[in-house]
Structure 1
Amino acid sequence: MSALPWLDTRSHWFPDPETALDEPDGLLAIGGDLHPERLVQAYSWGIFPWFSDDQPILWWSPNPRCVLFPSRVHISRSLRRRLNRDDLRITADCAFEEVIRNCGALREEGTWITGDMEAAYSHLHELGHAHSFEAWNTEGDLVGGLYGVAIGRCFFGESMFSRERDASKVVFVHVARQLESWGYALMDCQVENGHLMSLGAERISRRQFLTILKQNVNRRAGHDWQMDWFWGREPEA
């Protein structure tokens, strides 16, 4: 780790993502800060922060990269039955701070969503870069959600939580369909896990990922952050 570049807080420079380590996979740089301009630049270049309270800020760009192409979201038969119950209301940007707080609180072995991270992404939300999606049950309780960063036509998913069986999966499907209707190129899932892969996420090379970013992060999205896609119907023209 000592050979990695330390970032200077006086600039927002990052090394080339292709210079990231193979082991641990994708570790690129150390230090810097979580200033909004640095975070936006990092995501635009395929880089994200991931560290614990007892570590300096660590920046990553893994290879391969786990992504979801919105049109390829996978809906299993059991998930389809859950969706058909239609008992969750899905919203966007209605409870960002609650969502990120829940994402951190439900980590059983500690969380990488430190206090500094929570504050930084809440600031990004205030500036219009970070967004949340929420699932509410019929009693009006927040039972699931996810949050991430949107730049151009790319959405960089950060974390999700569920307080009710399959609630996060229901949100994920709605987000994928909504991003598809808005013309987004991909949802970045960062690092693969079984949960994401079961929902249709796939691995692509870092080089392919960076090419997609280059083609889409500067494309104007031009939409409000309101859900216009709901299970069982397409958005109105």
Structure 2
Amino acid sequence: MNSEVEQEYWVYQIKGTPYQVIQLPENATDFPHPFIIPDENRSPDGLYAIGGNLNPGFVLSAYSQGALPWTAVENLKYGIDWYCPLDRFVIFPDEIHISHSMKSLLNKHIYTVSKDKDFDAVIKKCSECNSRNKQDGAWLGKEIINTFTRLNQLGYAHSYEVWNKEGELVGGLYGLEINNCFLGESMFSIEPSGSKIALIHMCQQEKKYKFLDCQFETPHLKSMGGRHIDIDEYLEMMYG
């Protein structure tokens, strides 16, 4: 942590109301503590810092503080946007909800699931299929793909792949593992429920995980048992 280092701030406005955002130097090595900015000065959309870099060590530092990058790197004007929402949406593995239709699908044994068999293919498919990537320009572009590929090589990032009977990759997800917490980054489905199968498998097989960080709420993740916790509980569980 570098909470003792004097910080520089940007003023960030939403509908005319100013909020503080930390300005990070490009050569930063540690992400600032998530509570440096007082609650009353924090951006309600979760934007916490701008700048920094995508070096694997800095990215790990950011995620360890509850922050994540959320910008199309190729389209940056001021630097990388780092979000650190006070409200987090997570799934606890023992609370995963499997619908009757999903149970029926799983019982047919149409698909098999692997871990880290083809990380490169999973992150590429996430980039191609993710609607956020299409809307925001190349959020999951070359630079961040390179970073997470390196983190996979270092043993921090993991993928789960879903294969059909023809041996085709039809779903999957990837994310970071920090202190037995899985911080989900992105998922994709080529065949219906492909990403759900990967998620269910992970929750059922990886008993060590304290929680799966979904980043933000979506209807299908909520239907699978996702719920909100605050960042204090989030970090306490991560380091408890």
Q: Secondary structure of the residue that 1:133 maps to in structure 2?
A: strand
Q: Which residue of 2 aligns with 1:233?
A: none
1:37 matched to 2:62: no
User: Which of 202, 217, 225 pairs up with 1:192?
Assistant: 217
Q: Distance in 2 between matches of 1:119 and 1:100?
A: 10
> Shift of the alpha carbon at 1:140?
0.4
Q: Distance in 2 between matches of 1:54 and 1:125?
A: 25
1:46 matched to 2:66: yes
Superposition TM-score, scaled by structure 1 size: 0.85
Q: Which residue of 2 aligns with 1:201?
A: 226
Q: Which residue of 2 aligns with 1:157?
A: 184
Q: Which residue of 1 aligns with 2:22?
A: 5
Q: Distance in 1 between matches of 2:101 and 2:232?
A: 35
Q: Secondary structure of the residue that 1:149 maps to in structure 2?
A: strand
Identity among equivalent positions (%) equals 38
Indicate conservation of the 8 Å contact 1:68/1:187, yes or no.
yes
User: Which of 192, 197, 206 pairs up with 1:179?
Assistant: 206
Q: CA RMSD in A?
A: 1.6
Q: Distance in 2 between matches of 1:197 and 1:165?
A: 18
Q: Distance in 2 between matches of 1:179 and 1:39?
A: 23
Q: Which residue of 2 aligns with 1:26?
A: 46
Q: Which has the higher contact order (CA 8 A, sep 6+)?
A: 1
Q: Secondary structure of the residue that 1:122 maps to in structure 2?
A: helix
Alignment of 1:106-145 (within 5 A): 106-108=129-131, 109-110=134-135, 111-145=138-172
Indicate conservation of the 8 Å contact 1:93/1:131, yes or no.
yes
> Shift of the alpha carbon at 1:24?
4.5
Runs of 5+ unmatched residues, structure 1: 216-237
Q: Which is strand-richer, 1 or 2?
A: 2
Aligned residues: 213
Q: Distance in 2 between matches of 1:178 and 1:32?
A: 35
Residues 107-166 of structure 1, C-alpha deviation per residue, up to 9 Å, x if partnerless? Answer: 343342121111110111111111100000000000000000011211111000000011
Runs of 5+ unmatched residues, structure 2: 1-9, 12-19
Residues 154-192 of structure 1, C-alpha deviation per residue, up to 9 Å, x if partnerless? Answer: 111100000001111111100111222xx2211111111
Q: Distance in 2 between matches of 1:101 and 1:173?
A: 21
Q: Secondary structure of the residue that 2:206 maps to in structure 1?
A: helix
